């Protein structure tokens, strides 16, 4: 496991929050890293917030305990007015030379964060990658209807495989 | 050294070198406000909350037993089967 994971994630988080507040003028939005004492409560609050309109079956608490804790990975919640409105899970793969965004979800029809969720997640992942001198960010398993959107807004996004269902989109990043 | 609040009541100390590097990363290619506005405008209306994620369904069309939800393997979406039916009453304990 990375020895400086917490430091890297904290530095990226700090800058992402500063970017949200100063560049986007959204001090009401804040990222918070999910860690052991709050993981369960945060996941439950987020999933309950989706209500019956939530369209996926995955469980953020399970993802945290099976794939984030004690691993080179992160989970954050985007919080607004004290409530988690979006969740993101990503992995750091130093040997593979990339970081990957694995799961990203926001509460359905959440007011006030529409349009901010994906750019923020990418911004955070890019920061983590560059702080670790990695040069690629991958978006794994993008929802099919959003592939074109990602290709349009993320400059240089390349789909893999080139034909057929997209496994991941890869974006090269540099300082 | 910089003390960063990462969650309520939780702080991580970041070295000055790391903090400076993070600032450089954001100075050199963070999305601008206008770019984010464009991205927001381009976001498909069909994006009702799910952006990325792998379906972990055992098999396509599997009913998840208790609540009768049908999971589509291709998208991870859940379709509630029998939502139009009246709920069955449970026996009193």
Complex-level ipTM? 0.89
Scan residues 14-43 of B and list those with Cβ closer than 8 Å to A: 14-15, 18-19, 21-26, 28-33, 35-43
Residue by residue, DSSP assigns A3-72 as TTHHHHHHHHHHHHHHIIIIIS--TTEEEEE--HHHHHHHHHHHHHHHGGG--B---HHHHIIIIITTSS
- Identify the three-state secondary structure at position A89: strand
Please state the pTM of the whole predicted model: 0.84
List the one residue out of A171, A32, A2, A98 whose CA is nearest residue B18.
Answer: A2
pLDDT one digit per residue (tens) for chain A, 175 residues: 888 999 999 999 999 999 999 999 999 999 999 998 899 999 999 988 877 778 788 899 999 999 999 999 999 999 999 999 999 999 999 999 999 999 999 988 777 888 899 999 999 999 999 999 999 999 999 988 899 999 999 999 999 999 999 999 999 999 8
Which residues of chain A make contact with B41, given a CB cutoff of 8 A? 115
CA distance A11 to chain B (A): 6
Q: How confident is the model over B35-92, as pLDDT tens digits? A: 999 999 998 877 778 889 876 433 333 344 344 444 444 455 554 444 444 444 555 5
What does each C-alpha distance from B66 to A14, A52, B80 come to in angstroms? Answer: 42, 16, 12
Residues contacting A4, CB < 8 A, separation 6+: B18
pLDDT given for residue B91 in this prediction? 52
| Residue in chain A nearest B41 by alpha carbon | A115
Scan residues 50-79 of B and list those with Cβ closer than 8 Å to A: 50-57, 64, 69, 71, 74-78
Cβ of B42 and A7 within 8 Å? Answer: no
Among the partner residues A33, A50, A127, nearest to B25 by beta-carbon distance: A127
Among the partner residues A10, A114, A149, nearest to B14 by beta-carbon distance: A10
For residue B24, with 0-12 CB atoms within 10 Å meaning exposed, 13-18 middle and 19 or more buried, which class applies? middle
Q: How confident is the model over B2-46, as pLDDT tens digits? A: 999 999 999 999 999 999 999 999 998 899 999 999 999 998 877
List the one residue out of B78, B47, B36, B13 whose CA is nearest residue A51.
Answer: B78
């Amino acid at each position: 496991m990375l020895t400086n994971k917490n430091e890297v994630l904290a530095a990226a988080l700090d800058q992402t929050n500063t970017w949200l507040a100063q560049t986007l003028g959204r001090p009401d939005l804040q990222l918070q890293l999910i860690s052991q004492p709050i993981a369960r409560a945060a996941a439950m609050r987020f999933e309950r917030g989706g209500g019956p309109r939530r369209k996926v079956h995955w469980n953020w608490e399970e993802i945290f305990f099976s794939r984030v804790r004690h691993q080179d990975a992160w989970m954050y919640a985007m919080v607004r007015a004290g409530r988690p409105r979006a969740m993101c899970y990503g992995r750091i793969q130093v040997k593979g030379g990339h970081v990957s965004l694995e799961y990203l979800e926001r509460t359905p029809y959440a007011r006030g964060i529409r349009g901010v969720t994906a750019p923020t997640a990418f911004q955070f992942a890019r920061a983590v990658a560059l702080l670790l001198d990695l040069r690629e960010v991958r978006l794994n398993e993008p929802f099919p209807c959003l592939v074109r959107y990602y290709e349009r807004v993320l400059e240089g996004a390349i789909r893999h495989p080139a034909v057929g269902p997209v496994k991941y989109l890869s974006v090269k990043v540099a300082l | 050294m910089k003390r960063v609040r990462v969650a309520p009541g939780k702080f991580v100390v970041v070295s000055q070198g790391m903090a400076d590097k993070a600032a450089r990363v954001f100075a050199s290619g963070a999305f601008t406000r206008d770019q984010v506005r464009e991205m927001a405008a381009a976001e498909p209306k069909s994006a009702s909350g799910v952006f990325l994620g792998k379906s972990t369904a055992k098999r396509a069309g599997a009913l998840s037993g208790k609540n009768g939800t049908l999971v589509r393997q291709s998208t991870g979406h859940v379709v509630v089967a029998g939502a139009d039916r009246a709920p069955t009453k449970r026996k009193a304990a």
